Amino acid sequence: MSAIDYLKKAVEYDMNGRKLESLKLYQSGISALLEICKTETNPEKKLHFQRKIDEYMTRAEQIKATITEQRSRGEIIDKIHIIANGTGYGYERIFGKYLNDSVKEISLEEPYLREYYQLINLVRFCELVVLKCRNLKFLNVTTVAIPTGTNQHNDQKAAFQALTNDLKSRNITFSIDFSEQLHDRQIILSNGYIIKIGRGLHYFLPADKFCLGQYNFDFRKCKETNIDIFYCPENKTS
Amino acid sequence: MSAIDYLKKAVEYDMNGRKLESLKLYQSGISALLEICKTETNPEKKLHFQRKIDEYMTRAEQIKATITEQRSRGEIIDKIHIIANGTGYGYERIFGKYLNDSVKEISLEEPYLREYYQLINLVRFCELVVLKCRNLKFLNVTTVAIPTGTNQHNDQKAAFQALTNDLKSRNITFSIDFSEQLHDRQIILSNGYIIKIGRGLHYFLPADKFCLGQYNFDFRKCKETNIDIFYCPENKTS
């Protein structure tokens, strides 16, 4: 896509309340515009590009600040304590009721997506949100990067690529951000709900081969963890 | 368990309408009684045992005949045609609504339980019925035996053993019958419903690694197959 395509789409999504995806598009558009600006020799045109860049950067910063601020607000509406070895806590039972057609964008912050079982948990998470949120358009995952050249890196790359392609075929944009400072684990829904799980997606113990719980996680024994669900009507971005 | 224990339980379950399990218990009780009868030297006692064996055999034959007859009755109440590559046909969507607290016994006739993915389908089937039929007490699987000494035999044995132990811990008896003549694929529920799937449990195409459908079979592409659901109130055995 060209700089103009990115920015036109960014403005359109911004107007429609699809803040997360709009922010991504502003960032991509600004980068593309910076490249054009660098090579532009006509001083008048260069100045015009610089002004446009400033303008879009201001808007992108505003959106970012709004998102950050909103995430720190909200009131706890549910608390779940999972005891060690407890069962009956698959994703759907924990937060399925907040996933519905009002969710257009989801941001998942999960530091650990490196072991095979962790990538599998991400696939299962995607299956659930796609099934329940029929208007989902954008899913962003923030995680900690893995050094290149390792098997874990290759697995992670393969998983992200497979999910990108699969979700694209369902008209959902899947994007990844890498962050070294990530510690919080949370799922932010554009309908105003934030799900904070102490252990993120990975609170299940392994199941024995051919035993119940191998596929349906309601049968899986869990590790001890706490879940807080927040809601703030002002957090609604879609 | 002793012959008396088997037969006492058989009579009890017979009275309570748990026909499938009662039949199994009659058979085990009769075998045990035959062993005792063989070694009995007192002619009076021997005659008594023989009479009891005849009596229980008659009852077991009656139950067997009733079960066989009932399975051939019933009216078609639903027909589902799955087209090649169709999606949205996980087990729950296909027959989940017939699985409820009125089901105490299930008989699954599935000739092919030898490949790893077929055993996995059995595990997934068990997960679903245990979750939905909270009064389930007995699950019988009839399948074609695999020659011993093969990897498939070992896998099948491991799966059946794991399921037996797991289900036992949930107070459900899991039993296996091997049959060489098995061709029909059907799921017989003790609440009167019979689910006949042309391809049995194995009508799914494989999913790509890390793609949606790896875990939730509603996303899986299917092979073409037909499903007929029969219902006969007289088939109710529980």
What are the tens digits of pLDDT across the range B25-64?
Answer: 999 999 999 999 999 899 999 999 999 999 999 999 999 8
pTM > 0.90: yes or no: no
The mean pLDDT of A186-211, rounded to a whole number, is: 95
Interface test with B, best of A211, A217, A218, A221 (most B CBs within 10 A): A211
ipTM for this prediction:
0.82
Q: Is A218 on the interface with B (CB under 8 A)?
A: yes
Contact B126 A212 (CB under 8 A): yes
Written as six digits, the tokens of B116 are: 């790893």
Interface test with A, best of B170, B215, B217, B218 (most A CBs within 10 A): B215
Rounded CA-CA distance A101/A134 in Å is 5
- pLDDT classification of B233: cutoffs 50, 70, 90: confident
Chain A contacts in chain B segment 52-71 (CB below 8 A): none
Contacts of residue A66, Cβ cutoff 8 Å, sequence gap at least 6 = A19
Rounded CA-CA distance A4/A62 in Å is 20
> What average pLDDT does the structure give for chain B?
92
Rounded CA-CA distance B80/B199 in Å is 13
Q: Pairing mode, if any, of strands A225-231 and A193-197? A: antiparallel
Q: Is B150 on the interface with A (CB under 8 A)?
A: no
Would you call B84 helix, strand, or coil by DSSP?
coil
Contacts of B119 in chain A (CB under 8 A): 210
For the domain made up of B75-235, the CATH class stated in words is alpha beta
Topology of domain A3-70 in CATH is Methane Monooxygenase Hydroxylase; Chain G, domain 1 (1.20.58)
Contact A211 B123 (CB under 8 A): yes
Rounded CA-CA distance B213/B124 in Å is 14
> Which of B238, B236, B237, B235 lies closest to B72 in space, CA to CA?
B235
Contacts of A210 in chain B (CB under 8 A): 119, 123, 158-159, 162-163
Contacts of residue B141, Cβ cutoff 8 Å, sequence gap at least 6 = B108, B110, B113, B122, B160, B174, B175, B176, B177
Rounded CA-CA distance A32/A26 in Å is 10
Q: Dihedral, CA atoms, A200, A145, A170, B91, nearest 10 degrees?
A: -50
Q: Are B213 and B88 in contact (CB under 8 A)?
A: no
Contact A119 B218 (CB under 8 A): no
pLDDT, one tens digit per residue, over B143-162 is: 999 999 999 999 999 999 99
pLDDT, one tens digit per residue, over B114-145 is: 999 999 999 999 999 999 999 999 999 999 99
Q: Is A212 on the interface with B (CB under 8 A)?
A: yes
Centroid of chain to Cα A194: 12
Residue A70 reports pLDDT greater than 80: no
For every residue of B20-81, DSSP letters joined together read HHHHHHHHHHHHHHHHHHHH---HHHHHHHHHHHHHHHHHHHHHHHHHHHHHT--EEEEEEE
Instruction: Specify the pLDDT at position A238.
Output: 60
Residue A181 reports pLDDT greater than 90: no
pLDDT above 90 coverage of chain A, percent: 79
Q: Is A211 on the interface with B (CB under 8 A)?
A: yes
Contacts of residue B169, Cβ cutoff 8 Å, sequence gap at least 6 = none
List chain B domain ranges. 3-70, 75-235
Q: Which one of B162, B167, B214 has the shortest CB-CB distance to A123?
A: B214
Instruction: Specify the pLDDT at position A224.
Output: 96
Q: Is A127 on the interface with B (CB under 8 A)?
A: yes
Instruction: Specify the pLDDT at position B16.
Output: 84
